[in-house]
Structure 1
């Protein structure tokens, strides 16, 4: 595993993308939840789908990020 000058491991672009996608999706789904709670009238299919499946997809993205990180660290420790 490559390291910075200060000894910290390098964070790859895909790791940042997965982390920010997960956080963004979770924040959007929480916002959709509050929007349906406040307004309450009408059915917004997109809002309801994001509210229902957003946290699940965000959790799966975090799991992918963890698996990638652990496998990279395991390979680095074998060397």
Structure 2
């Protein structure tokens, strides 16, 4: 898992601790809820599985639209 927010070599470097915390939270969300992992997928017989699914927190890989719907339920998607 990489995030250019940790290095000062780009303009994406977090200048405020609050912005850095938000960026890291989003990175962890995508890693755990959106990205299927090969080892977990193999263990479940080929069903694409995220760490959150393996832990029983959710039943499907999430999309960014799912996250946006939580933040703003009235937002029209698509």
Please classify the TM superposition score into its range, dividing by the shorter chain length: 0.3 to 0.5
Structure of larger gyration radius: 1
TM-score (norm 2): 0.38
TM-score (norm 1): 0.37
Point out which structure has higher relative CO (alpha carbons under 8 A, 6+ apart). Answer: 1
Which structure: greater helix fraction?
Answer: 1
